Amino acid sequence: MATVLVDAENVRCSLWPNMPENELVERSKAWGEQNGHGLRVVWEGSESADDQIARLVRELDPPVWVVTSDRELHERVRDRAERIIGGGSFASELAAG
């Protein structure tokens, strides 16, 4: 079982029209349950979502997957994340339900 960190705004805005926040959370949690993974949807807060994800990738026990299309974040986590899933691909999979 992997811990999957979802770059919320990146994924939410990968579709048009943008996926509503609550729908992203609900569909992501359902995806995690269906696929046997722990899942965290990461939003901007006191630190940026990118900073939170980069920190969590270092702190969490492997395996950790990251869902984002952000190239800079991809570079920051690629040495520690076991898998990086594109935000658009993930959003499309969620929308297809």
- Reference 50, options 28, 20, 15, 75; nearest CA is 75
Q: How many residues does the chain have?
A: 97
SS3 (DSSP) at 15? coil
Model pTM score: 0.96
Confidence of residue 97 (pLDDT cuts 50, 70, 90): confident
DSSP annotation of 20 reads P
pLDDT digits (tens, 9 = 90+) for 41-89: 999 999 999 999 999 999 999 999 999 999 999 999 999 999 999 999 9
